[in-house]
Amino acid sequence: MSGTPMICRMLLQLSEMPARALFAGRLAAVLFSLAIITTAVPAFGQAGGAGLGAQAVGGISIDADGIIQNLDPRAIEQLATQRRELLAGKPLGAAGHRELQKVSLRRIIAAVEAAVAKGSQVPTDVLTLGGLERVEYVFVDRDARDLVLAGPGDAAVIDATGNLVAAGSGRPLLLLEDLIVALRAIDAARMGGMRCSIDPSPEGIAQLQAFLGNVRSLADSQAIFRQMEEALGPQQITVGGVPADSHFAQVLVAADYRMKRIGMGLEPSGLQGLPSYLAMVPAGGGSMLPRFWLEARYDPIARDPDELAWKLSGRKLVCLTESDLLAREGLQRGRGRTDAVAKRWCELMTKHYNDLAARQPVFAELANCVDLAVVAALIDSRQLADQAGLDLSPLLDEANLALPVYGVPRQVPTVASGIKKGSRWVLSASGGVQFQPWAFVETTVEAADVGKQRTFALASRPETGFCWE
């Protein structure tokens, strides 16, 4: 970067991203200004959000132009209070934690079809898959022509920020609408996986390069920050592999954005072992353009010899990094020098991911979406629905079952902030979330105990009801 003093180590931040939707019925008018959903769908509630209305995924809203804005903390508090009132302060669903709750997809489909036929709303416990917190098993039940999902479950309650979570663990519950999105999108995801990215535009990079080339004084760093914000312009958001107007996409973008805010010191992680990347950069160190993104990892999926029982395990989200180079010809991805500090910060982010997810639900929601995508890939790749004799078309037919439509995130304002490290500033402005669910179903291992779990699960199936312990 000729003509640019060593000034160029500066930190560019973003703002705050999506996390869940808002309230139906009598709450819709009160919360309209907070809603990020634009289309009402009767079966899924007036504004989605598991039948409780639109939620602010990740604590943000999206305006008509697709620009992300932070929600006022008072609005989030109001949302939480009103949702508790709607539930009359009582947990939703069967009380008590269940180590291995089973959920019948056949009976879930029947409940959805009944709601569609009546023009009514699907019950909230159906929309939350009976309080399922995680999918550990997928069982094929040929006798009942069914697929059964199994994992830990609990009653649903409203947390301090209005999220619908498990009463015991505080984890966000799995959502039927995210499973449906995964099932519908999984075939198209073969080529590029499911992903989102927040990046500067080529025009913004060119304008920033021109600005940096003309800077001759560091006397007023705040003025430089503001001019860099103006030069770079809004960050551009791209979503791939799932519909950009889905709750699933909102979660991808929200988790990405939150990670950047934590990494760049715009908000604390709340964990002693996870400082910001900026705080870790030594004098004269750091990359000019580090990128941080999240990817998923799983252990090989276990199965019984007959391939009628499947177990998912070892799922974790991993933070990775590379450094971009701001050259005369523009942004060169991954061409910057290796940044040991960025790598160390990613290691800490990975190590503390589950603890962070316990404090900031959007990271747990991301793990939920990844699990559901892997389940969808498993069902598709192994033709499990055909083996069971289960017709999934009532969930797959978009004309028959329309899902809630959320505002499409397109841009996030650039917010420049930084700490001088010797004669340099640190600059960061990109990253994302990406995973390929098909990769996790390619390798499986045979395990006899998985079949035993299937036998126990199917033997305890009740005559009625879509979930059981």
pLDDT by residue (tens digit) across 171-214? Answer: 999 999 999 999 999 999 999 899 998 888 888 888 887 887 78
Q: Which residues does the chain have with pLDDT short of 70?
A: 1-42, 45-95, 216-219, 221, 283-289, 323-338, 415-430
The pLDDT of residue 39 is 40
The pLDDT of residue 160 is 75
In the chain, what are the domain boundaries?
Answer: 6-468
pTM, 2 dp: 0.83
Residue 214, judged by CB atoms within 10 A of its CB (0-12, 13-18, 19+), counts as exposed
**d(C-alpha 285, C-alpha 295), whole Å:** 26
The pLDDT of residue 183 is 98
- Cα–Cα distances (Å) from 155 to 47, 93, 158, 159, in that order, read 22, 5, 10, 13
The pLDDT of residue 16 is 29
pLDDT digits (tens, 9 = 90+) for 383-410: 999 999 999 999 999 988 999 888 888 8
What does the block give as tokens for 191? 């080529």
**d(C-alpha 396, C-alpha 400), whole Å:** 9
* Cα distance from N-terminal residue to C-terminal residue, the chain: 63
Least Cα distance to 429 among 11, 15, 68, 66 occurs for 11
